Structure 1
Amino acid sequence: MCRHTLVFESTSNDSESVVGEECHIVSGAKSGPRSDSSFPRDKIDDVSNLILLCRVHHKQIDDQVETYTPDLLRIIKSNHEKWVEDKLKDAPKIPKVRVVRDKAQIPEKLNVIHTGKEMFGILTGCLASYMDYSDNLSDEELDLVGSFLQNAKDWSELAQDMEPIQKINASRDLDAELSALREMDLFAFAAVEIQKMVGGISGDSEFPVLHLTVSKANDPNVVSGES
């Protein structure tokens, strides 16, 4: 009725605030506003019998039931729904959100990672990842590789919010895992690709993506001398 905002957006500290009130056009209570004994009981809480109002107008329609009859409230609701529909038609079409990759940004090769500190620096800030590993690994090798890749993914999600001592400890853990991989003749290779998110209401934005693979030294995909 007043077209005031009835739901306020959440903040960084609190959830959204719903200031609108759900009102019954025909009350389900015997002595309630606009009560009607012939009205189907199973329709009392149906959306067709509900209208969302601010607190002031909720109080007004329930006090002035002779003026705000069920028929009038249905007309008010219908007119408002039509008004919203017309407003949405006038709104500019929001482009579909999609990810765009630039061929120039896709790494042609991945560089070998020598230390945990180097690994942690590369994965910090990455918002997605592509991970791979050599074929024909033993069960023991797969367990080690799987643990390393999972930990790298976990650290990438947490890195930006970590304290300096936590970053040092994470780098130390990654260093130990890299050493364990080298003992099995396995090496980690990594690089970062910048991808772009386009469309939506916030416009285009870039985000880094981690490429990480663990390979045997004799894997055909490993180019000799590149490390």
Structure 2
Amino acid sequence: MAISDKNRKILWGKSGNKCAMCRHTLVFDSTQMDNESIVGEECHIISGANKGPRSNPDFPKDKIDDVSNLILLCRVHHKQIDDQVETYTPERLRTTKNNHEKWVEDKLKDQPEIPKVRIKRTKEEIPEKLPVINTGKEMFNLAAGAYAFYNDYSDNLTDEELDIVASFIQNVKDWAELANEMEPIQKINASRELDKEIKALREFNIFAFAAIEKQKMVGGIGGESSFPVLHLSVNKANDSNVVTGEEL
């Protein structure tokens, strides 16, 4: 798929806007005539491409874009590690990444203490009932604004039912993580695909229920900010766990 906004933020935050190898600054300030210049690149330690740098067919596909498999580098060192794969092995790059992130953390300890970042929930914002989702467009628009996900599904599913439920939940999450970078036509196509999956679920008498919980991210240097989370439950219509105000 693609690196999620969350993993991208974690990587840049832990790397302190510095290349993990040369520690040069990766964002140059704007000038009177131009905007900021970004020379940092999010690099894969294990490539997701079949013949990519340090590719490994045994490496879990769902970990390719995980922050643990990413290292922040300048463009020069990104090119170098991908050209010199025998020298820059996965083990060496992981050590470089860990040492750099520890260096950043130690440097920041010299600064005034910053409140830890945490997620704040309020009882009033936690949805008690999840409304049924009828269309792919409705599902996509709801998921596109979410930063995190709570997923649930019925326990009494057959293997065939479990396969289509798992696929639907995964696709909702994947489309949501890509939504900010998608063109309008791509969003329409994504909605169409989710619509097909919703109809396929209903052939098994299975329904999708979803709602957004408005959480808040507090602490850090940015103050308080919104942190919307999607609650998604995929259930049989007769499942006792289904709580909805709508008739099915």
Give the TM bin, normalised by the shorter chain: 0.5 to 0.7
SS of aligned partner of 2:142: helix
Does 2:143 correspond to 1:123? Answer: yes
- Residues 96-119 of structure 1, C-alpha deviations (whole Å, 9 max, x = no match): 111111111111110000000111
Match 1:106 to one of 126, 130, 139? 126
Q: Where does residue 10 of structure 1 map in the other structure?
A: 26
- One-letter code of the match for 1:14? V
CA 1:224–1:202 in 2, change beyond 3 Å: closer, same or farther?
closer
Q: Number of residues paired by the alignment?
A: 153
SS of aligned partner of 1:218: coil
Residue 136 of structure 1, CA deviation = 1.5
RMSD: 2.3
Residue 149 of structure 1, CA deviation = 0.2
Q: Which moved more, 1:93-102 or 1:187-196?
A: 93-102
Match 1:216 to one of 219, 222, 236? 236
- One-letter code of the match for 2:184? P
Percent identity of the aligned residues? 63
Residue 124 of structure 1, CA deviation = 0.9
User: 1:223, 1:152 → 2: CA distance?
Assistant: 21
Residue ranges of structure 1 left out of the alignment (5+ in a row):
1-5, 18-83
User: 1:207, 1:224 → 2: CA distance?
Assistant: 24
SS of aligned partner of 1:215: strand
- One-letter code of the match for 2:120? V
Residue 155 of structure 1, CA deviation = 0.5
**1:16-31 alignment, distance < 5 Å:** none
- One-letter code of the match for 2:169? L
User: 1:223, 1:196 → 2: CA distance?
Assistant: 25
Does 2:138 correspond to 1:148? Answer: no
Q: Where does residue 187 of structure 2 map in the other structure?
A: 167
TM-score (norm 2): 0.57
CA 1:155–1:224 in 2, change beyond 3 Å: closer, same or farther?
closer
Larger-gyration structure (1/2) = 1
Residue 219 of structure 1, CA deviation = 0.5
CA 1:178–1:101 in 2, change beyond 3 Å: closer, same or farther?
same
Residue 201 of structure 1, CA deviation = 2.0
User: 1:200, 1:191 → 2: CA distance?
Assistant: 28
Does 2:223 correspond to 1:200? Answer: no
**1:39-50 alignment, distance < 5 Å:** none
User: 2:187, 2:39 → 1: CA distance?
Assistant: 29
User: 1:14, 1:101 → 2: CA distance?
Assistant: 37
8 Å CA contact retained: 2:209, 2:234: yes
User: 1:96, 1:159 → 2: CA distance?
Assistant: 28
Residue 226 of structure 1, CA deviation = 1.9
User: 2:115, 2:122 → 1: CA distance?
Assistant: 19
- Residues 36-60 of structure 1, C-alpha deviations (whole Å, 9 max, x = no match): xxxxxxxxxxxxxxxxxxxxxxxxx
User: 2:243, 2:152 → 1: CA distance?
Assistant: 16
SS of aligned partner of 1:111: coil
User: 1:102, 1:191 → 2: CA distance?
Assistant: 15
- One-letter code of the match for 1:173? E
User: 1:206, 1:147 → 2: CA distance?
Assistant: 29
- One-letter code of the match for 1:216? K
Residue 195 of structure 1, CA deviation = 1.0
User: 1:148, 1:181 → 2: CA distance?
Assistant: 9
